[in-house]
């Protein structure tokens, strides 16, 4: 039986993957880095420790990873303050599930960005647990961030459904042994092998209802 739903943040609640891409690419070009077409896909789901190291080691920024991290977060916060790109229907989807399930967040974003989104959308009070991948050892596709969300919710992972949009996110939640609802990111579409790991694939957040989550438990029982 599903008792909780844990949301990814970037790509599910905020349409921010493109913003991350723009901010990091601009910083790389300003600092003489070697930006390439696979950079955003490579970093998607990484923790801040991992992607800032990638920006230093692979993209070639000379600053230490911790300085790269701090500057990217500063620029992301400025962009959010100017125009927070909330995904259409995200707030409504979260509120639809509130009351039927305990809710959490398992995000690759830094803690200040998670808090900024929750404050701006008014959703902070509905989440019983929120986890940033900077608070665990490894980012997505490793399961650490989802395992920590389950620990904070005090639930077995089999009793939790994860809402994801990206390949690394789907793999992370699946590795944590959660039921996975995929709402594929239209700009960075997950490959077929990642989508095959999802228990349910939806076209949009409009289809995310308590009934849809409830069917996951029915499918598990039938299996």
Give yes or no: residues 136 and 199 share one domain.
Answer: yes
pTM of the predicted structure, to 2 decimals: 0.91
* More confident call, 41 vs 220: 41
pLDDT confidence band for 221 (50 / 70 / 90): very low
Same domain, 95 and 160: yes
Q: In what order do the strands lie in the sheet with 160-164?
A: 129-132, 102-107, 4-7, 160-164, 179-182, 200-201
Domain end point (choices 34, 55, 82): 82
Count of domains forming the chain? 2
pLDDT in tens, 99-154: 999 999 999 999 999 999 999 999 999 999 999 999 999 999 999 999 999 999 99
User: What mean pLDDT do residues 31-57 have?
Assistant: 91
- What is the C-alpha separation between 6 and 17, in angstroms, rounded? 19
User: Is the separation of the CB atoms in 40 and 24 below 8 Å?
Assistant: yes
Query: What is the percentage of the chain residues whose pLDDT exceeds 70?
Result: 97
Q: Is 20 helix (H, G, I), strand (E, B) or coil?
A: helix
Q: Using the 3D structure, point to which of 34, 65, 82 is the last residue of a domain.
A: 82
Q: Are residues 37 and 135 in the same domain?
A: no
Task: Show the domain range for 31.
Answer: 17-82
Last residue of a domain, one of 82, 111, 139: 82
pLDDT higher than threshold 90 for residue 222: no
Whether 120 and 206 map to the same domain: the answer is: yes
**Integer Cα distance of 56 and 158 in angstroms:** 37
Q: What's the average model confidence in pLDDT over 86-111?
A: 97
């Amino acid at each position: 039986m599903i008792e909780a739903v844990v949301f990814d943040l970037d790509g599910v609640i905020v349409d921010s993957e493109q913003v991350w891409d723009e901010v990091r690419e601009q910083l790389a070009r300003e600092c003489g880095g070697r930006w390439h077409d696979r950079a955003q896909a490579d970093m998607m789901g990484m923790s801040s420790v991992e992607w800032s190291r990638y920006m230093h080691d692979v993209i070639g920024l000379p600053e230490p990873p911790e300085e790269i991290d701090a500057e990217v977060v500063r620029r992301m916060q400025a962009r959010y303050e100017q125009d927070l790109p909330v995904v259409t229907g995200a707030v409504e989807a979260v509120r639809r599930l509130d009351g039927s399930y305990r809710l959490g967040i398992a995000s690759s974003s830094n803690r200040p960005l998670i808090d900024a989104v929750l404050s701006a959308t008014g959703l902070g009070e509905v989440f019983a647990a929120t986890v940033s991948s900077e608070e665990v050892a490894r980012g997505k596709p490793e399961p650490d961030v989802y395992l920590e969300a389950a620990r904070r919710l005090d639930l077995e992972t089999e009793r939790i459904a994860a809402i994801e949009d990206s390949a690394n996110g789907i793999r992370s939640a699946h590795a944590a042994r959660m039921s996975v609802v995929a709402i594929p990111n239209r700009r960075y579409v997950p490959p077929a092998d990642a989508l095959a790991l999802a228990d349910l694939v939806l076209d949009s957040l409009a289809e995310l209802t308590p009934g849809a989550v409830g069917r996951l438990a029915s499918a598990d029982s039938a299996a």
